[in-house]
Amino acid sequence: MAEKKFTVLDLLELELSGHDALDLKCIAGRRGLPRAITVPEINRPGLALFGFYESFSSNRVQLFGRGETAYLQKLKKEHNIELIQNFFTPQMPCCVFTYNLEPTEAFRKLAEENCCPLLQTSLTSTEFSNRLTRAFSNIFAPRQTLHGVLVEVYGIGILLNGHSGVGKSETALELVERGHRLVADDIVEIRCVNGNVLLGRGANTVVSHHMEIRGLGIINISQLYGVGAIREQKEVQLIVQLEDWNSNKAYDRLGTDQKYQTLLGVNVPVIEIPVRPGRNLPIIIEAAAMNERLKNMGYNSAKEFNQNILRWIENGDTQKVFNGNDDSY
């Protein structure tokens, strides 16, 4: 199934608020709103307006600030329409005027004739560029959907993996009961932002904060525990692989050999936790989250322990332990 294209109309209808709001409105060229935006970048068309079209990035959103708008006014005074006509020859997604600036009447008329949407925002050119870049970073980010449960434990985004029935949802429910937060249950959508940051959220935002507990059914975490028990998205910083206890498998007991799993080209630390009756998984996961925070701060418990053992051996303390200190023999 082909992925739905992102259009200028979609850009206008983005539901962004606060410091992410684009404050866009269409002032001309509405017939071109279905045009697709295929490149998540912005272009300042100063050279193109001047008549230089080599390496003109016509497939990008064109940004008109004070300089470009002042040049349009200059062309208006000189009655130079040819340069503006040439500007609309290559098809572009749309033109955005910042500072609530207005295009000249000739520019508006040509935009209507060529079905090129003209958008307007009250933001400054720099602020609009920053916000649009952030929006494009999310919209065009590579993404992957997988089965699992995403929770936030002590500020660390942990993805719980494992086969069906191993206890992922029950473990997440106990973590929520202990004051941590649920991001998504069952189906998690992972997006790679800025090339190395993995953001996870529910693949379906309507049901992402609902949880299926065998024997109990579907429960709504936000209704049971309050809005403080949920989060819309979180960076995936650790993967916990839950698996049935295998007595024939040698599990890592020191933690010196860190394993990784690659998601969308990013290596994420992985720990394997064997599941069997009597093991308190939520406490183990809490300890793993705190240990991961220490690693991010530059302290590795396993490596520190290993170095202390090596220093102990090098100082000759092992000989005292095994040989004893009695000189009567």
Residue among 168, 191, 210, 231 flagged as catalytic: 168
Q: What angle do CA 49, 55, 56 make, to 5 degrees?
A: 35
Instruction: Check: CB of residue 260 under 8 Å from CB of residue 267.
Output: yes
Q: CB-based contacts of 193: which residues, under 8 Å, 6+ apart?
A: 137, 138, 141, 199
Those residues whose C-beta lies under 8 Å from the C-beta of residue 202, and which sit 6 or more positions away, are: 183, 184, 185, 187, 188, 189, 208, 209
Q: Which residue matches tokens 């991001």? A: 183
Q: Would you call 44 a catalytic residue per the annotation?
A: no
Give the closest residue to 190 by CA, choosing from 134, 258, 261.
Answer: 261
| Residue 117 contacts residue 8 (beta carbons within 8 Å) | yes
DSSP-derived 3-state class of residue 299: coil
Measured CA to CA, the distance from residue 291 to residue 286 in angstroms comes to: 9
Give the amino acid at 140. F
Q: Are 150 and 234 in contact (CB under 8 A)?
A: yes
Which one of 131, 181, 185, 186 is the catalytic residue?
Answer: 186
Catalytic entry in 25, 31, 147, 259: 147
Judge whether 276 counts as a catalytic residue.
no
3-class secondary structure, 227: helix
The C-alpha atoms of residue 225 and residue 180 are separated, in whole angstroms, by 11
* Active-site annotation holder among 253, 276, 326, 327: 253
Q: Encoding tokens for residue 20?
A: 């992410």
168 catalytic? Reply is: yes
Rg (CA), the chain: 29
The answer to whether 147 is a known catalytic residue is yes
Q: Strands of 266-275's sheet, edge to edge?
A: 233-235, 197-202, 181-193, 143-153, 156-161, 238-244, 266-275, 259-263
* CB contact at 8 A, 105 and 118: no
The residues annotated as belonging to the active site are 147, 168, 186, 253
